[in-house]
Amino acid sequence: MSPKFTWQRRMKNTSSSEIHLTSLRRALESGNAAVMVGAGFSRNAEGGHQLATWAGMAQELWATLNPGVPAPAFSSGLVTQLGEQYCRAFSTTDLEDLLKRLVPDERVSPGQLHDDLLRLPWTEIFTTNYDTLLERAADNIIERAHFAVLCREDIPRSKVLGKRRIVKLHGSFPSQRPFIFSEEDYRTYPEKFSPFVNMVRQSLLENVFCLVGFSGEDPNFLHWIGWVRDMLDKHTLPIYLFVSKEPSYGELKLLESRKVTPVVLPQVGNEEDTDIGQRYKELFRILGQPLQAADSEWGSFKVAPVTSAFSDDVDEIFSRMLDALPPLLDLRSTYPGWLVAPKRTRRNFENSLRSVTWRFEDHLIRKKITALNPVMTVVLLAQYAWQQEVLLEPLTDSLGEIAFQQLLASAGWNISEGSDELRESLEKLRITKQKAFKDEWIFLAVNVLRWKRQQIEIDGFNKLKTSIELIAATDRFVLDQVRYEEILLYLYLGELDVAESKLSSWIPNSGDAYMAIRKGALLAEVGDLDAGLAACLDGIQRLRVKQKTNLSSAKFLSEEAWACHICLNIQRAQKFDHRVDLRDGFGSPEKLSQRLTDLAGRGYDVQREQEELIEGINTEAALPTEAELSFDEFDLGHISSSRRFGMPSELRNKLGSSLRWLEFVDRVAIVSRAGQVSFDLASHVQAAWWAQYVENWPRILSIPIRGRSLDALKPFDTSGPAHKTGWFSRFQIGVLDLKTAQEMCQRSFRQVEAALASQREDRSIQHICEFHLELFSRLVLRCTDSTLLIRFADRLMDFHKEQYILRHPQLWKKFGKALARCIEALDPKLHKTIAVELFSLPVFPTVETRDHLLDDWLRWTVVLQHFRPGSFASDEVTEEIQQVIKQLKASPAKPDRIRRKQNELLWNKLIGSSSLKLLTAQQEKEVSNLLWGNKSSWPTLPAFEPTLATLWPAPKGIDANAQFREWILTLTLQPMQAPKKSSGGRLRKAWTLSDRSEFLTSWARSQRRADWPVSDVAQGLGIIRQWWVLEWEDITWDVVESEEVAACVRDRLGLIDLIIGRSIDPDALELLVVQEEVGEWLAEMIEGGLAIGAHFWCCRLALAAMKGDSDSLALIEQEISTAFLCGKKADIYDAYRTMIFWIDRNAQLQKTQPTLALNAIGAVVGSRRSAALTYCLDLLVKFQNNEKIGAPAGCWPWCTLH
């Protein structure tokens, strides 16, 4: 045989061996491979060289039976004949003893190859060996239990126990006889051991059969395979015989006739004479490899580095990047199909991509990609979009915009139109046919459409949507994707009615069963829980049908897991809404929960995956800072600085987790609200809050809009997480561009109109109206279109007359606020266009309701505060005002609770009208008479400030100021202690932290109207002193233990300070001198107040000014300046109040000039970053407007306003 022919044959056999090994691996994975282990394999045991082969047994028998005669050539038939002769010459017992001596089972131990063999997933293991090596090796295999079948009685027991069988066909040491060896044993075997014969035959019928260490010449075996050939002929399953070398031509033909396929044991490396044990080890290693890598290992791969870190040649970088893409393309084709790739997989994939992916986002590569032919750019960016999809990350804005432009430029392109160079480049990226390019174009287009939806770019979304629908007109899967993205867009815009309409007309027609799940989730979000659950359960059934053709499909299993999770959420919402679904089939909560648990055990633990994403959002991270940072060192006056490049890793991870969450919820269809129940709404809001540092405002604000989070609209709460409250603040509304703000405003108003038009009496309508009315009332302040504002105002006024609104008092307050802010946004010159209609609104609702609900009806003082006196003629509303007065006159002397609340609303309208000077002289007189009547004492009304009567002139002959003082002095200063005697804890007393200082607030308001006589001041100080004597001892004890109590006491002392400061004049000083005990108590109170943090700046300032004590004045001014520059919020307000006092009482303070304090105020304004900024700006204006004091000489330049 020529060397060339030998080489060709070897190559052919090597190729066929690989095919056979692959077939056997497939059978092992499918669970239909059995093995027959022969005596040759036992020699791989520890001490296996002591075990005789059949040839060795034949020589031993021949030498005993034929002493001195040379043994003939070995054959299996010769062995059985010699065995029969030995039995006849001696005895069966002697033959058994000989076999035990030739096969010393007790002197050998199972080797590593026995373990390797048993670890393979054989269905059954047969052996003709007498030794117990396999049974002993099985004891070390903890992954699977085994049962040795030694006799016919063991066969049924093995099935009952459910263990894998090791079937000893020819007996077993030490005593399972007979040991099948002689001709007579083989002749009678089919009859005496028919159960074993049937077992082997059944296994040969059902399984791929492997012969390991087995010659295949065993008479029984030849009989069995002959029977199988007779039964199945060409349908016989493969029987593989593993041999150490290639069989001869004759041997090969004989094996072919027996339907036995020889497979040469694989070599290790390039060495042909490898030890047989090493070759078996390699065989078992190959058979143990799965045909496909485990899904959990997907994502890890290696590529050659793109370029050196110091290369600046863009063309070279780009060329090498293209060379590195083929492994990615291979990886893309093997993606297991997870709906969301597991966290570990995403991490592995990201680590593998670091040498390639970042290049897509490099600005030089972006520039290079943009300059390419649009077709090439689309193909490259489709690969990038796929990578981002796996990583659960969005497209970057820069690449998203490039992709958008290139998609439009390449829409409808045909591969035949390209140049040879372009087609050659596309071939490197495996784009050789028109369909391949079209698929890539559509894939990228859908991803960019999603990006446009996320950015709330409606025009770009619609333009790309039209192109996709034209190019993929017959692709139902793509059309379903487009429809899903369109519905999501309307949900993020807040247009719930449009989304609901499009959902009802959407019938998913593609083969993607998960589209039904997405539709069901969105139906639940818009309020149709029953239809949503039905759609999801239908989708689950379709997924299970698909699984029957692919039981291990990661795509279908992961999709079913997420579908079960979504169904359970919908069922929880139904239960909350008292609409429990009583399904008892596969859709019951119990069955779905069990299925979810089963899928988690198979590696699809979707609840854990969702928790991991939430954990990423909840990790701690500092807010972004300036690139240039400075640090105060330990040594005074020493400051170090550093420059930070990029953002800290904690912040980068936090932002990445937030963006991944937002991608995840839309892909899986995890809705934040189903019916009246919210699901992880806080996570949605938090993700949006952090994403503000990398996303645009329209997208960020769209997330709480979709979730309709009322908590997000609450005022910013510094005690909680920053993301939880404070959304749609004046700052956020202010940074929105005018067009976006007006569009959002109109959409919110349309949602209110649509919700009310439905006339549905459920809680969801109320929730929609509450959210969108609050949102509208903020966005409307950004609107400048007068026509639009007037239309809003007219419609809101119409709402106040509609029966549906009148029946829902929980919405009254929101509607009133919306109307007030609409008027605030409107140009004051146009107020007259809505004034008459506004005054015609009912003062109180015309339907019966509970008295406390009337507090939420339209508050006229709030609405009318935005009008200016003279905005419209008073005679236009005179009749409406007169009707209010008439209704008040008709009120009974002792009205019931409803009537009292109605009277409050009537008075509220009169107060607002009076502030605009809309009452005629006669009407003012009538109102005054209504208040005073025949009373000579100060008139008060419940729920109104005591100063109400000061809005209108008192009847003739009544000194209103004197009456007000007289009424105030009838009050007492309420104690701060609660009725409960003890707090039951570390405090001596129980304290109430509410405001109970009506006496003090009324006194302060009265002082703004007129100064008090000394005698009245003395009487008022006596009332304050009574409180002091009663509680001060307990206060001094408990303020040490409770800062809350201390803060409330400081607030009260601050008001007392202001009152006493205003009261100090020469006459008051004389009073303090004459009544020495008053002066001593006042000094004691100031000292005690200073000890707990009260300042008494007004009082101390007035006393120092009256006494001409310049040192005390300087000290006070220094304290005030310090408070402005670095004080707490309460200290800043006290300083502000003191400076107002200084301005108002400058004459009383001997015209002292607060130069230092004003410089501190100027410093705050100059810094523009202090908590005192708003207070200081107001003070600067007040100083400039006060001609008697002005800005003192020597102040900083910015203290003088021009």
Distance CA 488, CA 485 (A): 5
The residues, any chain, with a CB within 8 Å of residue 375's CB and separated by 6 or more, are: 410, 413, 418, 422, 426, 437
pLDDT value of residue 4: 38
pLDDT value of residue 686: 94
Distance CA 899, CA 891 (A): 8
Q: Are residues 23 and 39 in the same domain?
A: yes
pLDDT value of residue 1083: 87
pLDDT value of residue 657: 94
Q: Are residues 398 and 423 in the same domain?
A: yes
Name the amino acid, one letter, at 386: W
Choose the final residue of a domain: 576, 596, 622: 622
Q: Are 280 and 292 in contact (CB under 8 A)?
A: no
Choose the final residue of a domain: 452, 473, 494: 473
The residues, any chain, with a CB within 8 Å of residue 883's CB and separated by 6 or more, are: none
Question: Does residue 43 form part of some domain?
Answer: yes
Residue 743: C-alpha distances to residues 44, 243, 586, 783, 869 (Å): 81, 80, 45, 9, 32
Q: What is the CA radius of gyration of the chain?
A: 46
Tokens of 1010: 């007129």
Q: Are 268 and 282 in contact (CB under 8 A)?
A: yes
pLDDT value of residue 939: 87
Distance CA 14, CA 6 (A): 12
Q: Are residues 384 and 454 in the same domain?
A: yes
| DSSP symbol at 991 | B
| DSSP symbol at 168 | E
**Which residues is 628 bridged to in the sheet?**
643
Choose the final residue of a domain: 69, 102, 135: 102
Question: Does residue 782 form part of some domain?
Answer: no
Q: Are residues 131 and 197 in the same domain?
A: yes
Q: Are residues 59 and 44 in the same domain?
A: no
Q: Are residues 29 and 95 in the same domain?
A: no
Q: Are residues 123 and 233 in the same domain?
A: yes
Please choose, from the candidates 181, 176, 173, the residue with its C-alpha nearest in 3D space to the C-alpha of residue 86.
181
Question: Does residue 1181 form part of some domain?
Answer: yes
Q: How many CB atoms lie within 10 A of CB 644?
A: 12
Tokens of 505: 């007309």
Q: Where are the alpha helices (DSSP H) in 577-648?
A: 589-601, 606-618
pLDDT value of residue 184: 86
Distance CA 1132, CA 200 (A): 95
Pairing of strands 208-212, 33-37: parallel
Peptide bond into 262 cis (omega under 30): no
Q: Are residues 218 and 316 in the same domain?
A: no
pTM score: 0.78
Tokens of 165: 């069988």
341 three-state secondary structure: coil
Question: Does residue 1031 form part of some domain?
Answer: no
Question: Does residue 1190 form part of some domain?
Answer: yes
Between the two ends of the chain, the Cα-to-Cα distance in Å is: 112
pLDDT value of residue 1095: 93
* Residue given tokens 């003012």 in the structure block: 924
Pairing of strands 639-643, 260-264: unpaired
Question: Does residue 397 form part of some domain?
Answer: yes
262 three-state secondary structure: strand
- Strands in 260-264's sheet, in edge-to-edge order, are 146-149, 164-168, 125-127, 33-37, 208-212, 239-243, 260-264
Question: Does residue 173 form part of some domain?
Answer: yes
Q: Average pLDDT of each block of 10 consecutive residues along the chain (1202 residues)?
A: 39 65 90 91 88 83 84 75 86 85 90 92 92 91 89 82 88 84 86 89 90 80 79 80 87 85 82 76 89 74 55 74 81 90 90 68 80 91 94 93 94 86 87 92 97 95 96 94 97 93 92 94 93 94 88 88 95 79 71 93 93 92 75 76 77 93 96 90 93 89 93 89 90 88 94 85 83 94 93 93 85 93 92 90 87 88 87 82 90 86 91 89 89 80 83 84 91 80 63 76 90 89 91 88 88 92 74 68 90 92 85 92 91 92 74 82 84 89 71 51 42
Distance CA 1033, CA 1035 (A): 5
**Residue 226 parent element (H or E):** helix 219-232
How many domains does the chain divide into?
Answer: 5
Q: What CATH number corresponds to the domain at position 251?
A: 3.40.50.1220
Tokens of 713: 């609209």
- Burial of 772-789, coded b for 16+ CB within 10 Å and e otherwise, reads bbbbbbbbbebbeeeebb
Q: Are residues 67 and 121 in the same domain?
A: no
Question: Does residue 1149 form part of some domain?
Answer: yes
Residue-wise DSSP of 19-52 = HHHHHHHHHHHHT-EEEEE-HHHHTTSBTGGGS-
Q: Are residues 95 and 133 in the same domain?
A: no
Angle of helix 76-89 versus helix 54-65 axis, rounded to 10: 40
Distance CA 441, CA 408 (A): 10
Q: Are residues 248 and 116 in the same domain?
A: yes
Name the amino acid, one letter, at 830: L
Full domain range(s) for residue 584:
509-622
**Which residues is 209 bridged to in the sheet?**
34, 239
Q: Are residues 92 and 40 in the same domain?
A: no
Distance CA 493, CA 706 (A): 7
